[in-house]
Amino acid sequence: CLELALEGERLCKAGDCRAGVAFFEAAIQAGTDDLRTLSAIYSQLGNAYFYLGEYTKAMQYHKHDLTLARTMGDRLGEAKASGNLGNTLKVMGRFDEAVLCCKRHLDISRELTDKVGEGRALYNLGNVFHAKGKHLGRLGQQDPGEFPEDVRNCLLTAVNYYEENLELMREITDRAAQGRACGNLGNTHYLLGSFTQAIKYHQERLNIAREFGDKAAERRAHSNLGNAHIFLGEFETAAEHYKKTLLLAQDLGDRAVEAQACYSLGNTYTLLRDYPTAIDYHLRHLRIAEELMDKVGEGRACWSLGNAHAAMGNHEKALHYAQRHLEISREIGDPTGEATAQMNLADLRRTLGVDGDADSKARRRLSMERMDLLKLTPDVKQLHSKGRRELHEMDPANGDDAMDEEESFFNLVTQFQSKRMDDQRCSLAIVDNKENQQASTLPPSRLKEDLMDLIAGMQSRRMDEQRASLPRLPGLNNANPDILRRLSVEPAGEDAAALPDENFFEMLMRCQGTRLEDQRSALPDTSPRRHRGPTMPDEDFFSLIMRLQSGRLEDQRAEDP
């Protein structure tokens, strides 16, 4: 059993978790009467299944580990198992249960004066409230800085836990953990609409990443800084961060991220009205999307290229790319992209004197008029008024026109944020109406009996979740009655070793490196299905800006229908 488990651990460390799971399962089949070996196997199996995205199985094994730790009186093991279970419940969307487990981890760590464990528990609690806030915000189609009170409370609670974690990590001089905390504080402040604060923390995250030579974390920090500066209307600064993102992606050999950076740069230069440069970057995005066979990215690149060419007056080239966008949208079954392409084609054909659907333009005008534009955040408002003064000073004749574009940008960005969330939500099963009708015909005494049976069944299931029957623990060779006596009465002695699940936290950090540090509230997809390819950034808040600009190519104002 131990030899199989050690081979499973070796394979997981080497990155082959699927093969590692097979060896761990074989170890359980072989069985053991060593409780700590079994606990370690449960923990590692839970970690491996978590990494593979099989969260139900991960939860089962972390529950087994928790049961065994409690039975042995192993407080440190109970703390770590609770933390692992909390992380798993979080990604399953069971946030309230996750909070209970993570708080248990925190309480025991503080009881044992385990500073490292306390820091991890604080970080995990921040993650849970961060994820819950984003999830609730997405359900309500809300925007950064404009969330209802319950969502803001979740995000503010996350900030508090992250700040506690950061303070503790500074106390024990764990720079790597400080970097993780800063990244998540930046992301949470971003959701709260505090873009200046977000920039402060992402800059600190960038500095720490440079200290460690962590190019992947450095790349994420530059990308996040670019996004935050876009929201503040600081497009030149955003472009510099996106350029550094691009260089780091090339150093890392990550073609998909390279394409994402090109896409962001193309749209940023469009906002700066530097259309030739925008076209260069969009062409680079298009080439990589074709190379990676990312049809979604190809379609978006063609759309962006069509808009940029139209803005320069190259209507024939714009028509070519709009036609390609339409063909790709039909190929991948994207009705929103198809409708957008058709409207662009109609406008371009009219400009070129080619027959097209003249009504599509009026429909677009009406749809744009009906968009509810939200208020700007305080940070943006302040910079907004400053930007208007600067524009007038530079070019009084064109200041208002430029600010019209920027106002639309800010409003639309604020309107259409809050989408992306890895977590899933569990829903209650609904009893069929026919069953309800049948139940209502039962005599009152029978209904009472059925209700009591139902309550008893629910309570027994809940108890089973918290207290597994020891002989049913997989892999436990319990033929020896002395083993069962140890399980029921013997606490862990002074020589009780910590559960060897330290590697899980690092694995979790790698897994959450993209899941948490890159978490962004991107535009909600209005199509029935969400379409996103590997060359498209998660935060594609440029799309509606581009749509707005393409709609203003021929007329600057929407008319009443």
Residues 6+ apart with CB under 8 A from 455: none
User: pLDDT band at residue 429, thresholds of 50, 70 and 90?
Assistant: very low
CB of 44 within 8 A of CB of 74? Answer: no
Task: Say how far apart CA 70 and CA 90 lie, in whole Å.
Answer: 22
CB of 274 within 8 A of CB of 256? Answer: no
506: tokens are 């690092």
Query: For the residues 448-474, what does the mean pLDDT come to?
Result: 57
Global pTM reads: 0.67
% pLDDT > 90, the chain: 55
Task: Say how far apart CA 511 and CA 52 lie, in whole Å.
Answer: 10
Task: Say how far apart CA 96 and CA 378 lie, in whole Å.
Answer: 32
User: pLDDT band at residue 539, thresholds of 50, 70 and 90?
Assistant: low
Q: Is 435 helix (H, G, I), strand (E, B) or coil?
A: helix
Half-sphere exposure of 89 (CA within 13 A, CB side): 21
Partners of 476 in the beta sheet?
32
% pLDDT > 70, the chain: 64
Residue-wise pLDDT for 370-426, tens only, equals 333 333 344 444 444 444 444 344 444 444 444 444 444 444 444 444 443 344 344
Residues 6+ apart with CB under 8 A from 156: 192
Phi, psi for 273 (deg, rounded to 5): 65, 25
Q: Is 443 helix (H, G, I), strand (E, B) or coil?
A: coil
More confident residue, 125 or 136: 125
Asked if pLDDT for residue 337 goes beyond 70, the answer is yes
- Looking at the structure, give the CATH architecture of the domain made up of residues 294-356: Alpha Horseshoe (1.25)
Using the CB atoms, write b or e for 172-191: b if 16+ within 10 Å: eebeebbbbbbbbbbbbbbb
CB of 84 within 8 A of CB of 47? Answer: yes
| Neighbour tally for 74: CB within 10 Å | 23
Residue-wise pLDDT for 4-46, tens only, equals 999 999 999 998 999 999 999 999 999 888 888 899 999 999 9
Query: For the residues 433-438, what does the mean pLDDT come to?
Result: 40
- How confident is the model at residue 444, as a pLDDT? 55
Task: Say how far apart CA 350 and CA 360 lie, in whole Å.
Answer: 11
**Mean of the per-residue pLDDT values of the chain:** 76
Residue-wise pLDDT for 470-503, tens only, equals 447 887 775 445 544 544 433 333 333 333 344 4
CB of 426 within 8 A of CB of 150? Answer: no
Phi, psi for 152 (deg, rounded to 5): -60, -40
| Neighbour tally for 443: CB within 10 Å | 8
- How confident is the model at residue 424, as a pLDDT? 38
Query: For the residues 464-469, what does the mean pLDDT come to?
Result: 49
Half-sphere exposure of 517 (CA within 13 A, CB side): 28
- Quote the DSSP letter at residue 472: G
- How confident is the model at residue 130, as a pLDDT? 95
Task: Say how far apart CA 393 and CA 383 lie, in whole Å.
Answer: 15
Pick from 553, 551, 550, 542: nearest CA to 265 = 542
Task: Say how far apart CA 558 and CA 542 lie, in whole Å.
Answer: 21
- Using a 10 angstrom Cβ sphere, with 0-12 exposed, 13-18 middle and 19 or more buried, the burial of residue 25 is middle
User: pLDDT band at residue 171, thresholds of 50, 70 and 90?
Assistant: very high
User: pLDDT band at residue 204, thresholds of 50, 70 and 90?
Assistant: very high
